[in-house]
Every structure is written in C-alpha cells, then in structure tokens.
Structure 1
Amino acid sequence: MPTPVQMQAIPIALKGQSLLVSAETGSGKTASYMIPVVSYCAQFKHEQSSKMKKPSAMVLAPTRELCIQVEEQAKLLGKGLPFKTALVVGGDPMARQLYRIQEGVSLIVGTPGRLIDLLTKHDMELDSVSMLVLDEVDCMLQKGFHEQVMQIYRALSQPQVLMYSATISREVEKLARLMTNDLVIATVGKPGNQNSSVKQVTIWVESKQKKKKLFDILTSQQHFLPPAVVFVGSRLGADLLSEAITATTGVKALSIHGEKPMKDRRQILKSFLMGEVPVLVATSILGRGVNLFGVRQVIMFDMPNSIKEYIHQIGRTSRMGEEGTSIVFINEEDKKIFPELVEFLKSSGAPIPRELANSRYMMRSFSSSSGNKKRKHGL
C-alpha cells in the first residue's frame, strides 16, 4: 500500500508539475519521487529513437551514501524496463562514471560537486534532462551547496523540479519558488515534526562523563538495543570512540565518516546492515535520508548544532513505521539549542530532564520572553 506522502506526491509528479514536499523521516519519500522518474524515463526511451543516449532525469543528494541508496532504489523500480542509471559521486573513478553516461543512461544520481567536475572538465551536456530531483532540499539549498545546485540547474532546460525533505523552512520555500513557476507544495503530517514511532530519551551528561554513560548503556541488557548508530560531531571522534567501545565493552563497533575511502565506507555500511557489527559510530554523513532498516536505536553522543539535524538523526532509527529509540546526551555546551529542543520535546510528548528545564540559559530565555510580553501589553 502506498504511504500518505506517496499518495499525495506521485499523481502530481506524474502530471509534470513541480513539487516541494515536506514529510517526516522514514515516510517513503524516495519512492514517491522515484516512481514518477522511472515512469517518465521508461516512456521517454520508448518514444524516442534507440540512438538517443542522453539522460532524461537527474537526482541530486548531499552525501555519497544517500546517492548510492537512491540509485539502488531506482534500479529496483526500473528492473525490466528500458532504464539505466549512472552513479556520479566522489571517491569512485571519474573516467568510469563518464564512460557510463556516454554509453547511454536514463538517470544520473549524484552529488553536486562531482557533477560539476564532469560538466566543467568533460563538457558534458545535460540539455535533455527534463526532471530534476533535489533530495534533502533544505540541505541542498543552503550555503555550500546552493551555488553548485544552481550551476547545475542553469545547465538544464527548464526541468520539472521535485524537492523533498523532512525539514523545510520558509527560506527554502522562497528559494524553491524562484526555481519554478508552477510549484505545488505538499505537506504530510506536522511540518518539522519527528517520526511518531521514535521514543525520545534525553539525558543530561557532563562532557567528561559521556563515555562512561555510553559504555553503561552498551553493556546494559535493558537499555542497549542493537543494531545501534552512535552519532558524533567529528571524524576523529568517530574513530576514537569506535575503538574505545570495542576495547572497553567488548561490543564490536566500526566508524564511518567522510575521510574514509569510498570502498571502505561501502563495506562498513554493508557489514552493519547485515548484522555483523552491532554498533556503528557515524558523523552526519548518515544523518540524512539514508535508510538504515532494522536499526533499533540511535544514540547522539554529540548533540548536533541545529534542531533540523536532530530531527533527521533520530529518524534513522524508525523507518516506514518501525518503532525505535533515540538517546540524546546534552549539557551546558549545547545551550544554543536548548529553547528549540525543549519546545520540540514538549510537542512530541517526550520527557524533559530537570537540568535542562532549570538550566540558567533556559531561565534567561524564559525571563526574556516574559519581559517582551509585558512590554508588548504595556505591563
């Protein structure tokens, strides 16, 4: 049965209209854009001459892992149809990727940086691309990616644009409207809300005690729910923590981050998803979009610096309605995110630690907002 986001998005996309879709993590967004893409590409290839080798559609995503996953989904949906794909990401030989495209493909899936390399170094033409998908659009239109995305967009000939994320701000909506005139906005569930299948546990832990608290969880039959992903804020932190987990607890752990070779990243993720490794320590490269089916627990060793990234990371533990648990370590070092986090926990019905509710930063924030209300009402 199609999910709510698929029921809304697929018919609109099949009509050729551009879309901006907001839906919670794990709700089936990938298939909701890939079904129209595969349908269009297969029909286009059937109607055109067999000599036509240019791509008809393109999907851009922020990480290599997400691109790999999207291409695998595309291959699955396009099996048996006149539909070929090319994966264009860093870490793999560019010559092989270029050859694959020149041989003739319907769909290119890639990261913006590598695609621009192909465009500039090999004079690749994309004028035949009629469908452009921006997965995790709020990330793709942010500083760092925005210029690259727009450079690729300008190389296309007024494509239908499909944009998806679990967290879409007003600023992203404004940028999306600048890209297309016939934009349809579809929202499934409460915008920016967490997946309701995730049980959130927030623990106040001082920085020096975080490792001990993590080891206590991983050695507890009651609290450790493997397979689990532990999110950290740095690449070095991921390597050191995975080694410490294995050495101290005896629980096998591996790390994954952007500095590891692509071959190693593929093998590590495969080992984890196959159940050979119960704990994966990851940076934010796994925080968005990646379907970690079977993951029962996410532990945020380091709190991300935005509530949007928090929403995406806890969503790794609950895919397509499966229940999961997130455990988040916080302390005064995360004070910038306290107000948004408290509001989010309240709206989710999740418990709020006493230390967080009574923190000096929250009390100052409350006093400031109360003062503003009094001045507003002339009190």
Structure 2
Amino acid sequence: MSTHLTDIHFSSLGLHPALLKALDDMGYDRCTPIQAATLPKLLAGHDIAGQAQTGTGKTAAFLLATFNDLLTLPEIQGRRRNEPRALIMAPTRELAIQIYNDGLKLAAQTELRLTVVYGGAGYEEQRKSIENGVDVLIGTTGRLIDYYKQGVYGLEAIDVVVLDEADRMFDLGFIADIRYLLRKMPPPADRLNMLFSATLSQRVLELGYEHMNDAEHIQVERDLVAAGNIREMLYYPSNEERIPLLLGLFDTLTPDRAIVFTNTRRAGEEVWAYLAAYGLNAGLLTGDVPQKKRIALLDELKDGKLAVLVCTDVAGRGLHIEGVSHVFNYDLPDDPEDYVHRIGRTARAGAEGDAISFASEETAINLPAIENYIEHKLPTSAITADLLREPVSPQHMIRMSPAHRENKPHRRGGPRGARPSGSRHGRR
C-alpha cells in the first residue's frame, strides 16, 4: 500500500474540516499520486484534465475538490432547491452509482445533498429526489437531459462540473449530449471543470478544452499504462480449449474473487453457463440485465456471495470492487484501451492481482495493438494437460435466461480456497 501513497497528507492541503473528518473515519491519511498532483491545483480553482491508471484514487480526487468547492464558495443568491451546484457525468449506470456511493462516504460529515440518476430504473423516485433538493447531481447523460428538458432541475447555479471516464463518454457518442448540458451552465470561467480518466486521447482533450478554462493536463505514471502490481499472463488456446483452460485455471489458482470478460453477450452467456455447471457460484452482467439485477450482482460480488462475475465491457470501467484477485480476458478486447480498463479491476488501491488473457483463434489479431499500447510484451505460458478440465454440459442452463433468472445455489460456493479571487467569484 505504501508504494501507492505519497508523503502528502490530506491535512496539509487546506481541505474543509468536515472532509478531513470523513477521510479520517475512512482511514485515509495520505494522498495517492494523482490526488497529490491534482488536488492542490483544484483547490486553488484551476481546471484539470487528470489521467492515471485505474484504481489510483481519481474518484476521491474529484469528489474532494467538488465538495470543498461547495463548502467554501458562497452559493448564488436565490438558488432554488432543485438547482444543483455540481454536476458529475458518467458513461454508465454502474459508474454513476459507484461515484454516488463514494460521495456519500466523503460527504458524511457535511449537509451536502447528493442524488444519482440513471436510466433503467427508479424514474419517479429519482425525479422526486431532485425536486426535494440537491447540491450534487450525479448521473448518466441520457437521464440528465431527460429531466432537464422537463424542467425537473436547472443548471444556472452550477459551480463545478466533472466528466468521469471522459474518453468513454466521447467514444460512446455522448458528445452532443455533453455539449448540450455544458452550454446550459454558466461559462467555463465561472465554474470549476474537471476531466478524469485512465486514458485521455488528444482528440478527447481537445473536445474537453472547448468547455474548460485554461485546463492543465496532469498525467501520472505515464510510462506505466498498466499497474505494476498486476501480474499479466497470456495463453494461446484453441477455441475448443478455452473453456477447459478457464476451468482449470480456476481450480489451479483458486481466486478469491474473479471477473471474466468477454467481447459479446453470447460469449458471456456461454462462459457463465459452463462456470455455473462446473459448480462455481457465477453471475452474468451484460447490457440487457435489468438495472436492479445489475446492482444486485455487483453487490453480491463485493460481499463475496459470488465467486466470479462474467461481464461484457459494460462493467469494464470505473468500478471499484475490493478484493478482485483475478481478471480473465476470455476474449482479447478489440480496443487496446479496454485491456487497461479491464485488468484495472484487480490490484486496486495498492493490492496485487493477476490478469490472465486468452489469445484465441478469433481474438489473437488484437494482441499486437494491445502490446503496442501498453508498451510491453505480455508474458506467455504453455497450456499443459494438467491445466485443462473436462467441462460439464451446460445445455440445461443455457436455455435459462440469465437476465431474468434468480441466482440458484451451486454445489460449491466458489473456487477452493483557499482559492484566489477570480472571475468565478464575480457573479456571487
């Protein structure tokens, strides 16, 4: 843990006492590198585009800066209770919920009101939560725009705006939505603007800078795209060997908690079915899984009720699930950046972890681009007979809809084992 912390103490940054108390209650004393590099500038009122590997504390960095801003800067006179002072946008529902949960902990000693909105669930409940009063509004762009156009909330009082996982926001086609919301806010010089992500392309930075005020790009550990405490390994299985090899690795490595990534929903359903038939307490998270089920699956993995979660890239970014010891790339991702985000689900907050990838007949073509992006060759290992397991036929399980079925018990619970004065103050 110490190798992922700096000598900069949160108490030395001038944070609001309520935030320091929350950090103390959570057991946090020193900053991670991205926090140490960005927080002093953010607390002084400078816009930041922050980039660092996954699991290094980017979420806490922008939440602390946001909350400190709201606790120290006077709000606009006459602000209505449905006019948030901060807007945090995320590309996925899961990430928005994760930010909200982290925010509740850091704001525990304050009276700040946080609300999260996202599609797929709780339409009227989320709407009422905004109408009852909100200081920090967190959400996905679709639901945010829906409520805004209905007049559920206003953006005239925005002091802080955050784009989390900014590259994915743009990649998923949210550019028009983001610009729509940004143009409804006070001008960039009258608010604090932040971009955060593990990967930020020049194209994304240029788009972001259109709506930021002389932002500084801060990149931590540029030469270390993948976390140094992740042990990477690559196998070259045939298509027929992938399931037997995956089962054998689960038996051999006995992961405490694992995530298996596939490129398609169909592959995810097949892998889930084989793992479940083999006796592993497995869950499946794909785009068509209802929202309540998605949240429940993530909670079950966090709580240790699930041994393994099979995912498409819907869960590949931004989620902080402690204790994930192994990540398996059943399919090598088509996008090299997704490789970094996938393996970043393990080795969180200074822990160690293993990332094991399969370069199969279908996805080996993606390997050169991945290795070029991470700037190193993946170490390889031979597939020996003792690593292969005979799979149990999962036909009876494949016919069940993972999106709607209830989790059923298996024969095994898991594998063995202070800001200077400036233009933003002028409108107060």
User: Shared fold (TM-score greater than 0.5)?
Assistant: yes
CA distance, structure 2, for counterparts of residue 304 and residue 213 of structure 1: 19
**SS in structure 2 opposite 1:134?**
strand
* Match among 239, 245, 270 for residue 240 of structure 1: 270
Q: Deviation per CA, 1:101-149, whole angstroms, max 9, x where unpaired?
A: 1111110110111111112234632111121111101111225111111
- Superposed displacement of residue 353, structure 1: 6.5
Counterpart in the other structure of 2:411? none
Counterpart in the other structure of 1:179? 211
Gapped regions of structure 2 (runs ≥ 5): 1-29, 384-428
CA contact (8 A) 1:132 1:160 kept: yes
Equivalent residue letter for 1:337: N
CA distance, structure 2, for counterparts of residue 166 and residue 182 of structure 1: 21
Stretches of 4+ aligned residues off by more than 6 angstroms: none
CA distance, structure 1, for counterparts of residue 94 and residue 310 of structure 2: 15
Q: Deviation per CA, 1:347-366, whole angstroms, max 9, x where unpaired?
A: 446425799xxxxxxxxxxx
CA distance, structure 2, for counterparts of residue 70 and residue 326 of structure 1: 25
Equivalent positions of 1:89-128 (< 5 A) are 89-122=118-151, 124-128=153-157
* Match among 242, 262, 267 for residue 210 of structure 1: 242
More helix by share: 1
- Superposed displacement of residue 343, structure 1: 3.0
- Superposed displacement of residue 51, structure 1: 6.3
- TM-score in terms of structure 2 length: 0.77
* Match among 30, 51, 57 for residue 28 of structure 1: 57
Equivalent residue letter for 1:236: R
Report % sequence identity: 28
Counterpart in the other structure of 2:12? none
CA contact (8 A) 2:51 2:198 kept: yes
CA distance, structure 2, for counterparts of residue 241 and residue 261 of structure 1: 20
* Match among 379, 396, 400 for residue 351 of structure 1: 379
CA distance, structure 2, for counterparts of residue 289 and residue 49 of structure 1: 36
Counterpart in the other structure of 1:368? none
Q: Deviation per CA, 1:296-341, whole angstroms, max 9, x where unpaired?
A: 0000111111110000000101111110000001134225423222
Counterpart in the other structure of 1:162? 194
| 1:293 is the counterpart of 2:322 | yes
CA distance, structure 2, for counterparts of residue 191 and residue 170 of structure 1: 17
Q: Deviation per CA, 1:180-215, whole angstroms, max 9, x where unpaired?
A: 231111111016711111110011112232112111
- Superposed displacement of residue 265, structure 1: 1.2
CA distance, structure 1, for counterparts of residue 284 and residue 88 of structure 2: 27
Counterpart in the other structure of 1:284? 313
Counterpart in the other structure of 2:257? 227
Gapped regions of structure 1 (runs ≥ 5): 356-379
* Match among 40, 58, 63 for residue 92 of structure 2: 63
**SS in structure 2 opposite 1:320?**
helix
CA distance, structure 1, for counterparts of residue 247 and residue 56 of structure 2: 32
CA contact (8 A) 1:23 1:165 kept: yes
- Superposed displacement of residue 342, structure 1: 3.1
CA distance, structure 2, for counterparts of residue 164 and residue 5 of structure 1: 10
CA contact (8 A) 1:167 1:192 kept: no
Counterpart in the other structure of 1:130? 159
Equivalent residue letter for 1:217: L
CA contact (8 A) 2:359 2:367 kept: no
- Superposed displacement of residue 253, structure 1: 0.7
Counterpart in the other structure of 2:332? 303
CA contact (8 A) 2:84 2:153 kept: no
Structure 1 stretch displaced more, 47-56 or 91-100: 47-56
Equivalent residue letter for 1:274: D
CA contact (8 A) 1:59 1:134 kept: yes
**SS in structure 1 opposite 2:150?**
helix
Equivalent positions of 1:185-200 (< 5 A) are 185-190=217-222, 193-200=225-232
**SS in structure 2 opposite 1:269?**
helix
CA distance, structure 2, for counterparts of residue 148 and residue 352 of structure 1: 43
CA contact (8 A) 1:56 1:107 kept: yes
CA contact (8 A) 1:229 1:281 kept: yes
Task: Give the count of matched residue pairs.
Answer: 351
CA contact (8 A) 1:23 1:191 kept: no
- TM-score in terms of structure 1 length: 0.87
Structure 1 stretch displaced more, 265-274 or 113-122: 113-122
| 1:146 is the counterpart of 2:175 | yes
Q: Deviation per CA, 1:67-98, whole angstroms, max 9, x where unpaired?
A: 11100111111112120111110122222212
Structure 1 stretch displaced more, 28-37 or 185-194: 185-194
**SS in structure 2 opposite 1:186?**
strand
CA 1:349 to 1:335, structure 2 compared with 1: closer, same or farther past 3 Å? closer
Equivalent residue letter for 1:275: G
CA distance, structure 1, for counterparts of residue 291 and residue 326 of structure 2: 25
What is the root-mean-square deviation of aligned Cα atoms in Å?
2.2
